[in-house]
């Protein structure tokens, strides 16, 4: 199975026929695998490079300094996640050693002064961000990246609506207060063999509507589970983002589109002489959006909040006492 590359520039330009053509390509990819790459996305290479460098500079800080913005106890995605702090495979009931990564996580930088964004449930999605004091310009860079990729996702959701045969603005009322998140992830170079069944990121599905990823082209890459079993590497074209569907979209489509298992594999022994940096944007609907079938009854519906909160606590099941990442 190959992961298709789709040029979305014609859709962004706005011609009706061009929009339909791109929507058909997205429909085919979402039906087959739930994964596709996008080019022509309009996100500047300069912004991507600056965000990646901000991640590199942050992870190079001493551990004690990174821990000044340690993630909250309720595991909400804010601040620093230490090395080997969680296992994504736990979200699917598989007990594995913790994932070989450290991360910085943030939510929306612009939160309206409204009761919707307050309270216990809202705190999982709209908690105050925890920015480091260093490196200089970090906050401005990651905020800019967040806003830019969110705007791209808004357009992609319109394309996906057309791909499903509904109006372009079909999802608008489910996405007008989106509970999105951004993670900057470092997978350290591996000088020692990992533990048995330990990966950079264990097999999992994502929780929301759409994930948009930009990662380094180095050994130890993103892999997608094949329908017939086994795994295939995702090798995006230069300047492309990798996109995959999450559980919310799979539920909304009643399973027509898949939230496909994926993981980040370990490189071959001796091949991982460099870190891998990934910029991962998680597009998610309003936290009170019902994840029920939009075309037919899909059974008992849960909200995004109910599904999401359960998953993040499961992922914490393998968390150990924080320990330094390699080179820290």
- The answer to whether residue 63 scores a pLDDT higher than 70 is yes
* 8 Å CB contact between 63 and 168: no
Q: Which two tokens stand for residue 285?
A: 């609907």
Rounded to an integer, what distance in angstroms lies between the CA atom of residue 245 and that of residue 60? 32
- pLDDT confidence of residue 83: 80
Instruction: Band the pLDDT of 319: cuts 50, 70, 90.
Output: very low
- The better pLDDT of the pair 37, 33 is held by 37
Q: How many CB atoms lie within 10 A of CB 197?
A: 12
Sheet strands (E) in the chain: 5-7, 35-39, 79-81, 102-106, 181-187, 201-204, 210-215, 222-225, 231-233, 241-245, 262-264, 276-283
Q: What is the pTM of this model?
A: 0.89
* 8 Å CB contact between 264 and 169: no
Rounded to an integer, what distance in angstroms lies between the CA atom of residue 257 and that of residue 195? 34
Rounded average pLDDT over 32-39: 93
3-state secondary structure of 151: helix
Give 181's strand partners: 282
| Percent of the chain clearing pLDDT 90 (strictly above) | 52
Which residues fall within 8 angstroms of residue 151, CB to CB, at 6 or more apart? none
Q: Cis peptide leading into 135, omega within 30 of 0? A: yes
Which residues fall within 8 angstroms of residue 183, CB to CB, at 6 or more apart? 77, 103, 104, 105, 278, 279, 280, 282
| Percent of the chain clearing pLDDT 70 (strictly above) | 82
Alpha helices in 67-198 (DSSP H): 123-126, 138-163
**How far is C-alpha 109 from the chain's CA centre?**
17
* 8 Å CB contact between 151 and 143: no
* Domains of the chain with bracketed CATH: 36-155+171-318 (2.60.120.330)
Q: How far apart are the first and last CA of the chain?
A: 39
* CA distance to 100, 122, 138, 289, per residue, from 128 (Å): 27, 11, 16, 22
Rounded to an integer, what distance in angstroms lies between the CA atom of residue 22 and that of residue 25? 5
Q: Name the average pLDDT for the chain.
A: 85
- pLDDT confidence of residue 292: 81
Handedness of CA 292, 298, 301, 302 (dihedral sign): negative
**Nearest to residue 148, comparing CAs of 156, 137, 136?**
156
Rounded to an integer, what distance in angstroms lies between the CA atom of residue 316 and that of residue 153? 28
3-state secondary structure of 257: coil
- The better pLDDT of the pair 101, 201 is held by 101
């Amino acid at each position: 199975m190959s992961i298709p590359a789709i040029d979305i520039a014609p859709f962004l330009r706005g011609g009706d026929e061009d929009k339909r053509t791109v929507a058909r390509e997205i429909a085919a990819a979402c039906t087959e695998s739930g994964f596709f790459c996008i080019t022509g996305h309009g996100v500047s290479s300069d912004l991507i490079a600056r965000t990646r460098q901000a991640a590199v500079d942050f992870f190079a800080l001493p551990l004690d300094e990174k821990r000044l913005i340690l993630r909250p106890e309720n595991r909400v995605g804010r601040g620093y996640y230490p090395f080997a702090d969680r296992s994504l495979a736990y979200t699917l009931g598989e007990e594995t050693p913790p994932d070989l990564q450290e991360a910085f996580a943030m939510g929306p930088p612009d939160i309206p002064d409204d009761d919707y964004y307050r309270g216990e449930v809202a705190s999982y999605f709209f908690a105050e961000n925890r920015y480091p004091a260093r490196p200089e310009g970090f906050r401005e860079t990651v905020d800019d990246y967040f806003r830019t990729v969110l705007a791209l996702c808004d357009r992609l959701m319109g394309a996906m609506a057309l791909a499903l045969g509904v109006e372009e603005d079909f999802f608008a009322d489910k996405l007008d207060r989106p509970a999105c998140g951004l993670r900057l992830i470092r997978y350290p170079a591996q000088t020692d063999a990992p533990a048995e069944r330990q990966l950079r990121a264990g097999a999992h599905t994502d929780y929301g509507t759409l994930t948009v990823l930009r990662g380094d082209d180095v050994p130890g890459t993103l892999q997608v589970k094949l329908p017939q079993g086994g795994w295939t590497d995702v090798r995006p074209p230069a300047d492309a983002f990798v996109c995959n569907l999450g559980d919310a979209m799979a539920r909304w489509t009643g399973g027509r589109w898949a939230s496909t298992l994926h993981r980040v594999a370990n490189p071959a022994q001796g091949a991982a002489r460099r870190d891998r940096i990934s910029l991962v944007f998680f597009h998610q609907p309003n936290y009170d959006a019902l994840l029920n079938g939009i075309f037919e009854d899909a059974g008992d519906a849960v909200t995004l909040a109910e599904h999401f909160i359960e998953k993040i606590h499961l992922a914490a099941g393998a968390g150990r006492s924080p320990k330094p990442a390699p080179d820290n």
